Amino acid sequence: MRLNVLRGSLAAGLILALAGTQVAQAAAPPPQPAEGPGSVGDRKATIVKRLLGRGSATTFAFHASGAAPEAGRPVAVFLHGWGVVNPQSYGGWIDHLTRQGWLVLYPRFQDVNRTRPADAPGIAEGLVKAALADLAADIDAKPDLGRVAVIGHLAGAPIAFDMAADARSRGLPVPKLIFAAAPGGIASGPKSRGIALTELSGIDPSTLIITMVGDKDTRAADLAAKRLLREASAVPIERKLFVRALSDDHGFPALTATLAAPAGTDTGYDGGAIKPGPEPKEAAKDAPKPPPFRWSADMALTGEQQTLVSQINVARVDALDYLGFWKTFDIAAAAAFAGSDANAMKNNPRLADMERWSDGWPVKRLAVETPRLAPAVQAGTPAAAARKR
């Protein structure tokens, strides 16, 4: 009996030792590029972190310190997933953008368990408009309203499309680029939970639209991405692109392209540590009182949403971020600001390339395709009438 126990212990120890050796010898993922799309950027820059607004109506603003270039800073409006109100959950991406010279606005359009999804697009639009007005004369921030991109993750994606469609009517700059990462949270009908889409045919035809999803939990994100691409009907097909990131477990740690993949925590961007400046007495005195609060069931996070928020809040930065989402956005922004289209992006050999594991094995490439969309529903047809009901 003792001999059998000893043999079992030795076998178990051998297995653990072999497993540890395999982990130690596993191929490492490719590092972040030193330059170009998805790269580190200016590591020496000090990042300015500001909170604009008061109460729950606030926007975080991030940019490198010092005077902005003469042309100003390009503006990235970052619209978070439902329930992910702390910018630290996307701190890795925000840090990348600021070190590439962007002014990043992170409107906190949701007061968790107190904001209705139907109200979120209007709140986000108002916050961005107020933030741009606050920063208009700031020589360090200096937003360039001719170079604006909107990034949306999950429920932030349909809000990004609504914002682009409403831009002219709400006095907002028309974005050159909409980048939807793992889109979701779209209301399926007038009384359903989720973000209600406005008439997306109002999006400017010159806009470049990129939707990007992972290959895990794909059905919902795929359907949302294709719906958003389809309903932005004024934008020609050559200005739209559908990109899929693929999971890869060849090395360690494995790359897993889930709904939480676009997030990457950096505690240096903890919103709780960023305090607003002093409020002018006149502003406090004359500020309008908010309407009385009325609770509704769609304000509360569902169990699935709570689980997803937890996953996002602990997501780490990996190669799917800097070689996938960040690099794709960087290439898209350069194309959009130069007036190029999605075909130019597809012809860029760097776009799909995810580089190599440390043993030389290639990381699975991004799948890049021009979306195949069903014909848009024409006004006045029975199908259009049915959609309105």
Structure confidence at residue 217 (pLDDT): 79
Q: What is the pLDDT of residue 381?
A: 36
DSSP-derived secondary structure letter, 321? I
Task: Tell me the domain boundaries of the chain.
Answer: 47-278+297-388
Whether residue 116 contacts residue 185, with contact meaning beta carbons closer than 8 Å, is answered with no
What gap in Å lies between CA 348 and CA 345, rounded to an integer?
5
Give the H or E element holding residue 374: none
Q: What is the dihedral of CA 152, 156, 157, 161, to 10 degrees?
A: -100
Name the residue type at position 356.
R
Of the CA atoms within 13 Å of residue 361, those in its CB half-sphere come to: 11
Please give the class, per CATH, of domain 47-278+297-388.
Answer: alpha beta
Q: What is the pLDDT along the chain (389 residues), one digit of tens a residue?
A: 444 544 555 455 544 444 444 445 799 999 999 999 999 999 999 999 999 998 778 999 999 999 999 999 999 999 999 999 999 999 999 999 999 999 999 999 999 999 999 999 999 999 999 999 999 999 999 999 999 999 999 999 999 999 999 999 999 999 999 999 999 999 987 778 899 999 999 999 999 999 999 999 788 899 999 999 999 999 999 999 999 999 999 999 999 999 999 999 999 999 999 988 766 544 445 455 656 778 788 888 999 999 999 999 999 999 999 999 999 999 999 999 999 999 999 999 999 999 999 999 999 999 999 998 766 543 433 444 333 33
User: Residue 276: which H helix or E strand, with range?
Assistant: none
pTM for the whole structure? 0.88
Q: What are φ and ψ of residue 308, in 5° steps?
A: -65, -40
With 0-12 / 13-18 / 19 or more C-beta atoms within 10 angstroms meaning exposed / middle / buried, residue 267 is exposed
Note the pLDDT of residue 2.
47
